[in-house]
Amino acid sequence: MAYTHPLLVVSPQGRVSNLNLLYDGGEQLASGSAWSGWSVVELDFDGRPRLGIRWNGSTQTPDVSAGGNPQSRRPTWFVVPEPIAMVIRAALKDAPNGV
């Protein structure tokens, strides 16, 4: 597998649950578009609904970790600060897969 599928990323462990995939840009490729290589999920973080985002990683690009980013021994989500979550949700309306 070239990257960890977003729905398999359940870290920070014990704090993340109820993943709902909003966008998956697939593996991060050097020739990819601005929409490739990253993912966004709705998730519960410490029991509260939030957004999470991460770079998916790559096995083809030497300067990109195969496991994606952020990670701490395993793939993890960056929990988006609430003041910018609305901006991300609005931008996803332009996603190529029609999210």
Q: Classify residue 20: in a domain, yes or no.
A: yes
**pLDDT value at residue 80:** 95
What burial class does residue 43 get, using C-beta atoms within 10 Å of its C-beta: 0-12 exposed, 13-18 middle, 19+ buried? buried
Domain extent, residue 57, equals 6-94
The domain total for the chain is 1
Give the tens place of pLDDT for each residue, 77-92. 999 999 999 999 999 9
For the stretch 38-91, pLDDT in tens is 999 999 999 999 999 998 877 765 555 555 665 666 788 999 999 999 999 999
Q: What is the pTM of this model?
A: 0.83
1 within domain boundaries: no
Over residues 12-38, the mean pLDDT reads 87
Q: What is the mean pLDDT of residues 5-28?
A: 90
